[in-house]
């Protein structure tokens, strides 16, 4: 009986405690920002994380740097979105919540625009249908630049100091020198490191950023032509061919990453088992292959393609395609 009485007493005390806490109000809220360190102009989502109340029945008032954001406020509006300010800007977001039970809760978060990203582009040749980035090769030009033009909250003039492989490039540095152009000199497979330091007129380092620029070699891919007259290639390139004796196939060579602006600056040489094949009269990168009519089935031949930049025999790409007679 004493044991039961003790449990009853404890239960009553627990209920009294919970009632007291409820009477004082237990609503609480915290804020989560994504991304926490945005780039300039990037959209930031600040979400109110509720505790002890239903957000769909509660009124949210959002403040940005102390100013009420009326259009973003309202019942159930538990997310506030805004565009990050200039590099180095700190934005204070505050939320005031009034719950269905007339309890209040508030929270605040500060978001600083602090990430500076560098991008780069190379002037190498890619086909019009290529959706990727043109990659640099030796003797091509590479331009490095901030992905978003940086600016300070006060609109101060910025001094750009560029570094290539940890060496300061004074000729490319200066006020508002927002891009840096260089030619790769490293071996194929290596990568240059480009660094940027931004400083304000008083010499204060405002931001730093770094990127790597890989050095690649030119490439060439072969595509069967679905329509030889219109030079319409298939969607997939080929690494091997199978032809019956006397069968014909039209192929299109598509070069990538040569330091040229058009196909006329390249020479294409086709060989079948060492014998030079004449290119088509339509385009030098197209070829008509005919398997020997009297060759035995099961024979294996090699089709070789060489692509060379005119005037620079060191800039080249090659392809060997096994040809099996079926």
Q: Which tens digit of pLDDT belongs to each residue from 37-69?
A: 888 888 999 999 999 999 999 999 999 999 999
3-state secondary structure of 20: helix
The phi and psi torsions of 116 (rounded to 5 degrees) equal -110, 125
What predicted TM-score, i.e. pTM, was given to this entire model? 0.69
User: Taking all residues of the chain, what is their mean pLDDT, rounded to a whole number?
Assistant: 87
Higher pLDDT, 89 or 165: 165
- Is the confidence at residue 155, as pLDDT, over 80? no
Q: What is the dihedral of CA 141, 217, 287, 273, to 10 degrees?
A: 150
> Do 61 and 93 meet the contact criterion of CB atoms below 8 Å apart?
no
pLDDT tens digits, 234-290:
778 899 999 999 999 989 999 999 999 999 999 999 999 889 988 766 678 989 888
- Is the confidence at residue 80, as pLDDT, over 50? yes
Question: Distance between CA 90 and CA 28 in Å, rounded?
Answer: 25
> Do 252 and 231 meet the contact criterion of CB atoms below 8 Å apart?
yes
Neighbouring-strand partners of residue 224: 251
Domains belonging to the chain, first-starting first, are 24-112 (2.60.40.10), 118-214 (2.60.40.10), 219-325 (2.60.40.10)
Q: Where are the beta strands (DSSP E) in 169-244?
A: 174-175, 180-182, 191-199, 205-214, 219-227, 232-233, 241-243
- Is the confidence at residue 163, as pLDDT, over 60? yes
Neighbouring-strand partners of residue 91: 111
Helices (H), the chain: 2-24
- Is the confidence at residue 4, as pLDDT, over 50? no
> Do 151 and 181 meet the contact criterion of CB atoms below 8 Å apart?
no
pLDDT tens digits, 94-148:
999 999 999 999 999 999 887 788 999 999 999 988 989 999 999 899 999 998 8
pLDDT band at 203 (very low <50, low <70, confident <90, very high): confident
DSSP for 259-310 reads S-SSGGGEEEEEEETTEEEPPPSS-TTEEEEE--TTPPTT-EEEEEEEEEET
pLDDT band at 153 (very low <50, low <70, confident <90, very high): low
Question: Distance between CA 219 and CA 285 in Å, rounded?
Answer: 14
Question: Distance between CA 3 and CA 9 in Å, rounded?
Answer: 10
CA triple 270-275-278, angle to 5 deg:
45
Report the sign of the C-alpha dihedral through residues 15, 21, 25, 30, in that order: negative
pLDDT tens digits, 10-40:
343 333 333 333 434 578 999 999 988 888 8
Question: Distance between CA 245 and CA 293 in Å, rounded?
Answer: 4
Which pair of tokens denotes residue 290?
Answer: 């005919």
């Amino acid at each position: 009986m004493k044991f039961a009485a003790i449990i009853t007493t404890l239960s009553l005390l627990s209920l009294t405690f919970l009632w007291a806490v409820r009477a004082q109000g237990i609503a609480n809220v915290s804020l989560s920002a994504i991304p926490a360190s945005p780039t300039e102009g990037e959209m930031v989502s600040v979400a109110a994380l509720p505790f002890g109340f239903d957000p769909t029945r509660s009124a949210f008032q959002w403040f940005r740097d102390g100013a009420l954001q009326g259009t973003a406020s309202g019942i159930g509006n538990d997310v506030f979105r805004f565009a990050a300010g200039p590099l180095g800007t700190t934005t204070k977001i505050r939320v005031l919540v009034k719950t269905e039970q007339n309890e209040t809760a508030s929270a605040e978060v500060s978001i600083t625009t602090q990430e500076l990203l560098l991008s780069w582009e190379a002037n190498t040749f890619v086909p019009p249908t290529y959706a990727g980035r043109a990659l640099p090769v030796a003797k091509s030009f590479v331009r490095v630049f901030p992905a978003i033009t940086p600016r300070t909250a006060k609109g101060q003039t910025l001094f750009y100091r560029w570094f290539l492989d940890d060496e300061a490039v004074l000729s490319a540095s200066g006020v508002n020198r927002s891009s840096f152009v260089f030619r790769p000199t490293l071996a194929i497979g290596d990568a240059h490191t480009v660094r940027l330091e931004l400083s304000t007129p008083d010499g204060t380092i405002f931001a730093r950023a770094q990127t790597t620029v890989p050095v690649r070699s030119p490439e060439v891919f072969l595509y069967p032509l679905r329509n030889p007259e219109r030079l319409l290639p298939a969607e997939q390139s080929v690494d091997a061919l199978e032809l019956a004796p006397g069968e014909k196939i039209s192929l299109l060579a598509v070069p990538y990453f040569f330091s040229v602006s058009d196909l006329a600056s390249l020479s294409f040489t086709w060989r079948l088992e060492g014998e030079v094949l004449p290119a088509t009269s339509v385009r030098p990168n197209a070829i008509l292959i005919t398997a020997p009519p009297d060759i035995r089935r099961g024979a294996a031949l090699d089709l070789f393609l060489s692509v060379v930049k005119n005037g620079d025999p060191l800039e080249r790409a090659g392809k060997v395609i096994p040809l099996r007679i079926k």
